[in-house]
Amino acid sequence: MTLLQSIILGLVEGLTEYLPISSTGHLIIAQYLLGLKESDALNAYSVCIQSGAILAVLNLYFARVRQMWSGVWHPRENAVGFRLTLNLLLGFMPAMVIGFFLASPIKHFLFNAETVLTTWALGGIVILLFVRYNMKQGKGRNHQGIELEDMSWKQALCVGFMQCIAMCPGTSRSLMTMLGGLVAGLSMAAAVEFSFLLGLITLTAATVYDFMKFGDSMISEIGWGAMLAGTFMSWLSAIIAVKWMVGYLKKHGLALFGWYRIGAALVMLVLILNGLTV
């Protein structure tokens, strides 16, 4: 992998990780267009450059992370931070347990272009149907509901189980956790923020696991320089993407992402018909 290829993958990862459009699917297309052949090192690198996106959320939501840290050490004085920390850990538990048992077969049977094509299209349709339902119910694009400070453990668990669906590539962890929060009764703002914060735990766990397992092969095949450059680009582009999405959702809702996913599925179909295999 060249330095430029590493930077491009970092850019794709950062721009798509927190948008409800699936970073995995975009990385599959990017790797194909860059002529990169699948390997354990490349697959692990595609996971580990998430560390840049993780740092981006830490930067943007530092006050909230500090509140949770304070709640862990001073639960009586900061009950809100303590409760949010517990809710995030509870939301992470389903993915941790299910991922432990199913991670290998999921990667073996589902990590392919055909799966991404299907889940991109289905996800787009679900978004558009959800938006239409909300409009009929008079909830509007911003979806009013419970704020993050008042979130219950049951709502956190609901989001956690929804996150497990995103183990299927192309589904999008961000989409499932946002929809999970909205279905559970959270406001749009609360669902988006909880999705980002839950990603800190989930993505960190996946990054650490893959680095411990394939770190040596990554360093050997890709090199520290290219890895750091890709991670930096992931951080920078994730900051831009998150800031844009938060502002966009406040005014327009999720519909754009539904149409985008359907369009991306059509692009994937064209690539498959022209020989894309993963």
If pLDDT is split at 50, 70 and 90, which confidence band does 278 have?
Answer: low
What is the average pLDDT score of the chain? 90
pLDDT digit string, tens, across residues 4-17: 999 999 999 999 99
pLDDT digits (tens, 9 = 90+) for 90-110: 999 999 999 888 878 887 788
Residue 278 is assigned to a structural domain of this protein = no
Establish if 222 belongs to a structural domain: yes
Alpha helices by DSSP H, the chain: 3-16, 23-33, 40-48, 50-60, 62-73, 79-110, 113-136, 153-165, 173-184, 188-221, 224-252, 255-273
pLDDT at 5: 95
Q: List Cβ<8 Å contacts ≥24 apart for 33-41.
A: 34/5, 34/8, 34/9, 36/1, 36/5, 38/278, 39/217, 39/221, 40/214, 40/217, 41/214, 41/217, 41/218, 41/220, 41/221, 41/222
Domain count, the chain: 1
Flag whether 35 is in a domain: yes
Domain residue limits at 135: 3-273
Task: Answer whether residue 152 is part of any domain.
Answer: yes
Give the pLDDT confidence of 192-224 residue by residue, as tens digits.
999 999 999 999 998 998 899 888 989 999 999
Q: Whole-model pTM?
A: 0.90
pLDDT of residue 141: 56
Average pLDDT of the segment spanning 141-167? 88
Q: Is residue 149 part of a domain?
A: yes
Considering the domain boundaries, does residue 103 fall inside one? yes
